[in-house]
A = this chain, B = another copy of it.
Amino acid sequence: MDVSRRVLFKGSAAVVLAGALSRVGLAADDPLPSWNEGPAKSALLDFVHATTDPQSAKFVPQPERVATFDQDGTLWVEHPLYTQVVYCLQRVPAVVKARPELAEVEPFRTVLSGDPAAIAKLPADELAKVLAAALSGMSIDRFEAEVQAWLENARDPRWKRPYTQLTYAPMIEVLNFMRSRGFRTYIVTGGGQDFVRVYADKTYGIPPEQIVGTAGGTRYGYDGSGRPFLTKDPKLLLNDDNAGKPEGIHLMIGRRPYAAFGNSVGDRQMLEYTTAVAGERLGMLVLHDDGEREYAYGPAGGLPDTKVGTFPPSLFAEAKSQRWVVISMKNDWKRILL
């Protein structure tokens, strides 16, 4: 009896242990541990499997594996204001210090007043003047140093963290997973190309040459000692939003992506362009429906309306008809911030 019980016990222990190991094994093998099981996670895993398994009929050769990701609201938090807009507003005192004549000129006077209600009411073309002043007129090197210094000190008011720590853990997993399977991951953002390049390599593992963003021209010139440098020009070359996204993808990559990820109406054309051809293609849209853990806005699905990251019912309808996968932050993501 004793002996048999001991044998039985050992056997049970072995079974329990094997089960535990197998679960640990599964977790360790799961490239998307922050995702709940469900249609969004399955669509991702199925797509990557179909395009990268050499036995698959839908196999895509490695050099053609391009995946594009919107940034604001897709890879990191965009509410209540795009981080780059926060940067530009906070740069205004320095801009006015360098050009004191702007202190009494709108919209700079309003921004300097610090009155949030008045600032929020600035029309888009006035805000554009603030952006132009903060994002052009200096050398590339100086601009990068200014953004870098700001990122180190600025904190998001809700999470009290640097903005570069407000990235979505589930999306960082997608970036890493796709890269591990031979995809080149690109950011395709309405934000400034030079702005995003400052932190994207450290924050997302995405190098400067894989950032497609709204881009102004530069001017080549020489400093006092004859050394050449580039100055950021206010002239707009590429407005990388809406139809500008596929146009920017063609300009900068010259290949149609196999997968595209967005979260708002500005990403519609990018997803259309990506999925409008034969073969395995993936379009995904992040829906911000978790007001508790992040923010809830749409206005699709009865969520509150927003100007920052609009997801209208028409986009919801197109997602359905085009078989783009809508990711519910509330239901599909186990955790949100990294």
Q: Are A211 and B254 in contact (CB under 8 A)?
A: yes
A215 CB-CB contact with B under 8 Å = yes
A253 CB-CB contact with B under 8 Å = yes
CA distance A276 to B220 in the complex (A): 13
Known contacts A230-B246, A230-B247, A230-B250; A255 and B220 CB within 8 A of each other: no
CA distance A119 to B254 in the complex (A): 33
Q: Are B227 and A276 in contact (CB under 8 A)?
A: yes
Contact of A252 among B140, B194, B209 (CB under 8 A): B209
A144 to chain B, nearest CB (A): 10
Q: Are A273 and B211 in contact (CB under 8 A)?
A: no
Most buried by B among A215, A230, A251: A251
A118 to chain B, nearest CB (A): 36
CA distance A193 to B250 in the complex (A): 10
Q: Are A218 and B237 in contact (CB under 8 A)?
A: no
CA distance A215 to B273 in the complex (A): 20
The interface residues of chain B lying within 8 Å CB-to-CB of A255 are: 208-209
Contact of A228 among B63, B228, B269 (CB under 8 A): B269
CA distance A272 to B227 in the complex (A): 8
Residues 136-151 of chain A, each 1 if its beta carbon lies under 8 Å from chain B, else 0: 0000100000000000
Q: Are B269 and A207 in contact (CB under 8 A)?
A: no
Contact of A247 among B220, B238, B252, B273 (CB under 8 A): B220
Q: Are B219 and A246 in contact (CB under 8 A)?
A: no
The interface residues of chain B lying within 8 Å CB-to-CB of A252 are: 209, 252
A166 CB-CB contact with B under 8 Å = no
Most buried by B among A63, A237, A254: A254
A217 CB-CB contact with B under 8 Å = yes
CA distance A209 to B255 in the complex (A): 8
A306 to chain B, nearest CB (A): 25
CA distance A272 to B246 in the complex (A): 33
The interface residues of chain B lying within 8 Å CB-to-CB of A215 are: 251
Residues 246-278 of chain A, each 1 if its beta carbon lies under 8 Å from chain B, else 0: 110011111100000000000001001100100
Seed contacts A211-B254, A218-B247, A219-B247; 10 additional CB < 8 Å A-B pairs:
A140-B250, A197-B254, A208-B253, A208-B254, A209-B254, A217-B247, A220-B269, A228-B272, A230-B246, A237-B237
